């Protein structure tokens, strides 16, 4: 059951990849970019190096209004959710209402789904001899690699406890810099790793195949949202962790990997 669920997390991947799509031109203020960013197995490492440079030097761009306003909005919403976490997280921690949902969207199931989605897309591309399908899978893999590097560093810095690590009636307001279990293994709670990956995949698929088939983003982002919600119902993450994961996943895929 879990494997079937995992395979269905991003149900549009194989179908969407077989349909024609078009990527919008970048904003006029940015340098011209190709419709499809060149990607291949040999380009993955150079692409990742370029991506990481963009990610870690992004704060230098905050002097520009077009970057500052969205970044401030994301930080502001995240701060508000952090303030509410001691109220919202215990509600999920203390209830059994989502046991059925959690059984289907377990951590293992969503892990499998996030791995199977790009792999199955690439395999289908090889079988169909569809270069766009293959490049979409590689772009998704590139986004996931960027996600893992960023979340590992962030989690090792903030060392936030997961809600499940706190007793049901414990102090949920004191969760930061408390987890000393391990390093370089993304053990902390902030941001949600499952969510950032799910939204990265959804963004790649939606941006490359959603222009002519508008239903694709609804299904792709809907599936990613279910993954994010499951992280809260499983008490694996606070709502603020999930929101930041979604925002980062979208941003990394669209602006760093796809360069749109």
In the block, which residue shows the tokens 């395999």? 123
- Number of structural domains in the chain: 1
- Residue 236 in tokens: 């694996």
**pLDDT digits over 193-202, tens only?**
999 999 999 9
Phi, psi of 129 (to 5 degrees): 55, 45
- Candidates 184, 176, 191; CA nearest to 237 is 191
Give residue 259's region: left, alpha or beta (phi > 0; psi -120 to 50).
left
Q: Is residue 104 part of a domain?
A: yes
pTM given for the model: 0.83
Nearest one of 197, 188, 210, 184 to 248, comparing CA atoms:
197
pLDDT top residue among 31 and 114: 114
Q: 78: which DSSP letter?
A: H
Q: Is residue 16 part of a domain?
A: no
The answer to the question of residue 11 being in a domain is: no
* Segments forming the whole domain that contains residue 170: 41-257
Residue 162 reports pLDDT greater than 70? yes
144 lies in a domain?
yes
Does residue 14 form part of some domain?
A: no
Identify whether 212 is part of a domain: yes
- Band of residue 184 on the pLDDT scale cut at 50, 70, 90: low
- Write the CA distances from 39 to 118, 137, 184, 235, 250, integer angstroms: 14, 10, 28, 37, 19
Q: How many CA atoms does the CB half-sphere of 19 hold within 13 Å?
A: 18
Structure tokens at 2: 């879990």
pLDDT in tens, 78-134: 999 999 999 999 999 999 999 999 999 999 999 999 999 999 999 999 999 989 999
Say if CB 144 and CB 114 are below 8 A apart.
Answer: yes
Q: Is residue 6 part of a domain?
A: no
Is the residue at 223 inside a domain?
Answer: yes
Q: What is the DSSP letter of 173?
A: T
């Amino acid at each position: 059951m879990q494997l079937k669920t995992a395979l269905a997390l991003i149900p549009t991947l194989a179908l969407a990849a077989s349909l024609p799509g078009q990527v919008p031109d970048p904003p006029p203020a940015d340098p011209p970019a190709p419709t499809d960013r060149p990607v291949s197995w040999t380009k993955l490492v150079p692409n990742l190096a370029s991506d990481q440079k963009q990610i870690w030097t992004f704060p230098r761009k905050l002097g520009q209004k077009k970057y500052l306003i969205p970044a401030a909005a994301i930080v502001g919403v995240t701060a508000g959710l952090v303030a509410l976490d001691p109220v919202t997280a215990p509600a999920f921690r203390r209830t059994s209402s989502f046991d059925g949902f959690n059984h289907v969207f377990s951590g293992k199931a969503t892990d499998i789904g996030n791995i199977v989605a790009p792999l199955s897309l690439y395999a289908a591309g090889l079988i169909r001899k569809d270069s766009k399908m293959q490049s979409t899978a590689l772009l998704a893999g590139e986004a996931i690699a960027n996600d893992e590097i960023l979340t590992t560093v962030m989690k090792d810095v903030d060392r936030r406890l997961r809600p499940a690590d706190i007793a049901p009636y414990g102090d949920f307001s004191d969760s930061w810099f408390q987890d000393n279990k391990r390093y370089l293994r993304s053990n902390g709670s902030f941001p949600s790793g499952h969510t950032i990956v799910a939204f990265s995949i959804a963004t790649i698929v939606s941006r490359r195949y959603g222009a002519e088939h508008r239903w694709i983003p609804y299904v792709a982002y809907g599936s990613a949202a279910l993954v994010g919600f499951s992280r809260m119902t499983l008490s694996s993450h606070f709502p603020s962790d999930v929101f930041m994961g979604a925002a980062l996943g979208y941003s990394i895929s669209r602006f760093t990997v796809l360069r749109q």
